[in-house]
Structure 1
Amino acid sequence: MRWQNLWLLLCCVGLPAAADTVWLKNGDRLTGDIVLLDGGKLALKTKYAGRVLIDWKDIATLNSSKPLLVKQSGFEQESSRQLQAADNGKVKVINGDSREVALSDIQQLIPPRPLLEDLVWEGNADLDLDMDRDDNNTNNFSVSGDSRVRHGLWRHVLDGEYEREKENGEETESNWQAEYDLDRFFTQQWFVRGSVSELRDDFGDIERQSLYGLGPGYQFWDNELGRFDLIGQLGRGKVRSSKGDIEFDAYSGEWDYKRVFWGSRMEFFSTAQIVMPTEGQIDYVFDGEAGLRYRLNEWARLSLLYELDQVGGSRESGSEEHYTLGMGVAW
């Protein structure tokens, strides 16, 4: 073993257990907290420079005292209790036994989120202001947000949106909608969701809409790379409009998808819900969105959002699309 590699191992032993350490091929050393490795970029959260992105090919070796999911080329993966520094271009994976793995064979490093996590809280809030100065001076203001709190076997999900529009000083649109979901997990993947949602519109044909639902959900993954949930529900809805009130039973399905790229600097997200009443003249109501968020710093995001709302039925059908660019915060 080379003397410099022996020095790396001795430094590793002397480091505090809470710090992750990365040695670069040019001799530099960085300490912090490994967020994840994905797409050839290692995201390291440091006290002195915030979150930094390091090219994986520039790393000589590293060590981490926390558990990590190590995904290698192909479908091979394993959970490590810790990583220890090794020869240049390698790392020791410790999990009962010890074995050296070439850094070039490692595709992802992901801190796992166990089922009995004490508390995980995350969320986003986006603000958009659109001003058109033509024959009709139009100001459109909208704010949306979502928050997820995971505690043990329970997860709380809250999201909402408020939109207001003025044309030539006259208010032409004002609406808000909110939804609260409560999930109870039985395994790492399976859970049951209860939902309640409310929509109010001061200028639309539908003045108020309420929907309650209950049904199973399946979580494909939920970690530092993102999440993917599918949920099916049987619900009860009520619509109040200028034409009268309607109550109905309905089936619904929804997805919630998020995936980060480029060392967590870029995020793609998509959520959607389709509601199918069991009776009446409406076949389905679809509400979906997809977008990108770019991380400006630890809390600020630049967001690009596409929204699609569709109604299909024997007598009534229609579709609306919206594109928005705005700023937001995340935690």
Structure 2
Amino acid sequence: MLLRFLSSVLLAVLATPVVADTVWLRNGDRLTGEIILLDGGKLALKTRYAGQVLIAWKDIDTLRSDQPMLVRRQGFESEHSERLEAAGQGMVRLVNGSSQTIALGSINRLVPPKAVLSDRVIEGNLDAKLDMKRDSSETDEWKVKGNTRVEHGRWRHVLSGELERKVKNDVKTADNWQLEYDLDRFIDEHWFWRAGAGHDEDEFAFLNRQRTLGTGPGYRFWDTELGRFDMIAQLNRVQLRSAEGELSFNTYGLEWDYKRLLWGTRLELYSTAELQLPDIEEVDYVFDAEAGLRYRVNEWARLSLLYELDAARGLGQSTSERRYLLGIGVGW
């Protein structure tokens, strides 16, 4: 089944027609490729010969695109165009049944619209951090975090996980990992239903194993080339294990998933968070969140800065743990 799915994805990619947009620069150069988006004064153009390049909007003389675009102009709401045509120095023609010629300088955003519930989204990131200290003791700490998502038709698969290990003077002092899988079924363009499962292992924690099963509705506020924002409410069944035994209970959860591309896709701002309200008296809430920035070095390499927060309250006391990670990664 997996081989058949991957084969269908590959065939769909190979069968997709190549988009050939054209950008004319003020210095007389001409570039061809696929317009990804315009944002923050930078036009992102994906080329076959140089990968993705960023072009200052002020350096563009005119352009042409045969793909539909959402056009945001100063003082106007976003408008849809079937295509863009070159219209002379500093101008472009918007074609949508009728046509109108406008100045490039009046446009501050171009975004190709995503097809609703389409079979074309495969994306993910893998970030790694290594910390080596050599002073009075030798400490090696490394952490790997990754996630990927695949959308096909009305289905979306989301897989995420992380692995952390720390060794001090040849003695292991931290060893934990977690893995989560979510399956979403879209009801319409915005609403979907999620079912998910998670598993955490921590060799050095009092609660050394946690298993979670959950389901509930979600709402996608937007999903464009600029980013996405989802919120999900879930009812979860949690099972904890320790050396003293096992404990099972229900929780009410709320989580979000936010991503925003900046500076012509060069920067990525992202954030995820999950709030759990257990139905036991000993714990009031558990809150896990992370936020970070990724800097695109090239088509696949990333530099990442991540902030993590784990907080909980129970039995009248609050605890929190904060972590800052600086590392390298890959994106697809």
Q: Does the alignment reach a TM-score above 0.5?
A: yes
SS of structure 1 residue aligned to 2:177 = strand
2:63 aligned partner = 62
Give the aligned length.
316
2:73 aligned partner = 72
- 2:108 is the counterpart of 1:107: yes
- 2:187 is the counterpart of 1:200: no
1:33 aligned partner = 34
The unaligned stretches of length 5 or more in structure 1 are 1-15
2:144 aligned partner = 143
Inter-CA distance 17–319: structure 2 relative to 1 (3 Å threshold): closer
**Aligned 8 A contact 2:288 2:310 in 1:** yes
2:130 aligned partner = 129
Deviations, residues 277-299 of structure 1 (Å, cap 9, x unaligned): 01230111111111111111100
The unaligned stretches of length 5 or more in structure 2 are 1-16
CA distance in structure 2 between the partners assigned to 1:306 and 1:223 by the alignment: 25
Which 10-residue stretch deviates more, 169-178 or 79-88? 79-88
CA distance in structure 2 between the partners assigned to 1:304 and 1:158 by the alignment: 21
CA distance in structure 1 between the partners assigned to 2:119 and 2:68 by the alignment: 16
SS of structure 1 residue aligned to 2:95 = strand
Inter-CA distance 215–146: structure 2 relative to 1 (3 Å threshold): same
1:267 aligned partner = 268
2:176 aligned partner = 175
1:255 aligned partner = 256
SS of structure 1 residue aligned to 2:88 = coil
Task: Give, as a single letter, the amino acid of the residue that structure 1 aligns with 2:44.
Answer: A
CA distance in structure 2 between the partners assigned to 1:133 and 1:161 by the alignment: 25
CA distance in structure 1 between the partners assigned to 2:318 and 2:24 by the alignment: 60
2:227 aligned partner = 226
> Kindly, what percent of the aligned residue pairs are identical?
57
Which 10-residue stretch deviates more, 47-56 or 202-211? 47-56
CA distance in structure 2 between the partners assigned to 1:279 and 1:59 by the alignment: 61
2:97 aligned partner = 96
Inter-CA distance 17–91: structure 2 relative to 1 (3 Å threshold): farther
Q: CA RMSD in A?
A: 1.5
Task: Give, as a single letter, the amino acid of the residue that structure 1 aligns with 2:313.
Answer: G
Task: Give, as a single letter, the amino acid of the residue that structure 2 aligns with 1:102.
Answer: A
CA distance in structure 2 between the partners assigned to 1:275 and 1:99 by the alignment: 52
Task: Give, as a single letter, the amino acid of the residue that structure 2 aligns with 1:177.
Answer: Q
2:13 aligned partner = none
2:84 aligned partner = 83
Inter-CA distance 119–283: structure 2 relative to 1 (3 Å threshold): same
CA distance in structure 2 between the partners assigned to 1:251 and 1:116 by the alignment: 28
1:160-171 maps to which residues of 2 (within 5 A)? 160-171=161-172
**Aligned 8 A contact 2:117 2:189 in 1:** no
Could you tell me how far 1:315 is from its partner in structure 2? 5.4
Could you tell me how far 1:87 is from its partner in structure 2? 2.6
CA distance in structure 2 between the partners assigned to 1:315 and 1:235 by the alignment: 24
**Aligned 8 A contact 1:282 1:316 in 2:** no
1:326 aligned partner = 327
**Normalized against structure 2, the TM-score is what?**
0.92
SS of structure 2 residue aligned to 1:113 = coil
CA distance in structure 2 between the partners assigned to 1:205 and 1:76 by the alignment: 55
1:13 aligned partner = none
1:237-252 maps to which residues of 2 (within 5 A)? 237-252=238-253
Could you tell me how far 1:101 is from its partner in structure 2? 2.2
Which 10-residue stretch deviates more, 210-219 or 35-44? 210-219
Deviations, residues 244-296 of structure 1 (Å, cap 9, x unaligned): 21111110111111111111111111111111101230111111111111111
Task: Give, as a single letter, the amino acid of the residue that structure 2 aligns with 1:161.
Answer: E
